[in-house]
Amino acid sequence: FKDTAVWRSLWTTLMFAFVCVTAEMALGIALALSLEGSVRGMAFFRTLFILPMMIAPIAVGLIWRYLFDAQFGLLNAILGVFGAAPVGWLAQEHTAFIAIVIADIWQWTPFVFIMMIAALANVDGAVLEAARIDGANWWQSTFRVKLPMVMHVIIITLLMRLIDAFRVLEVIYILTFGGPGDSTEILSLHIYKTAFVSQRLGSAAAISVLLLVVVAGLSWFALRLSNPLKDEERT
């Protein structure tokens, strides 16, 4: 653990997890609140939103690698229409990090959406009706009634996404392989490269213990938080 590359990859992992999970939670909750009603066509939009989650991570990496390609990518083609110069999305440190964040948000926001749609569907309508009678507007009903009632689900979803964010490998492997330099090398990819590229299996095993401790701690916390939900179901 004296290797500074380990701590750089851990810092990159923390930044990646924080940015991705924050954006995914915000977007997922916003989409769920927008599409929770029984309006015509909502079933189609709900199905459309969950499609990215069903795609294999390697395929997601390939899709976004094409979109971010400096020569033939769709994003640079769009920029060209407006007369802008092409951008080396995967060749620069800050844009490469943005690229892996966008890919993760696109794939896993649907997970938050599904969890929140299910949670909001179980909110007691009588409580919402009482809030309306008391004069609560949409903003007050949402942020003072609905979301507090599903807070346990929000926290558990947050922790589940954090756990997954720490274990991401395939998409980053395909998109950047941790580059340029080690700017997008998260801990799981660093373990892979240490074991199979550098052939330092002992070091990779030691770093894996660090990742295991972090993931196990988050998992334990999620299980502890799920106990109140089980108690509510029994009552």
Is residue 229 over pLDDT 80? no
Query: Check: CATH 1.10.3720.10 for 4-234?
Result: yes
The answer on pLDDT for 197 being more than 60 is: yes
pLDDT at residue 211 is higher than 70: yes
Tens of pLDDT, residue by residue over 116-144, are 999 998 888 888 889 888 888 888 999 99
Tokens found for residue 127 = 């409580």
Number of H helices, E strands in the chain: 12, 0
Mean pLDDT of the chain: 89
pLDDT at 47: 82
Position with higher pLDDT, 47 vs 104: 104
Task: Report the 10 Å Cβ neighbour count for 46.
Answer: 17
pLDDT greater than 80 at residue 193: yes
CA–CA separation, 222 vs 158, rounded Å?
Answer: 9
What is the rounded CA–CA span in Å between residue 106 and residue 90?
17
- Is the CA virtual torsion 136, 142, 144, 150 positive or negative? positive
Q: What is the mean pLDDT of residues 167-183?
A: 94
**CA distance to 23, 56, 91, 111, 160, per residue, from 27 (Å):** 6, 21, 28, 11, 16
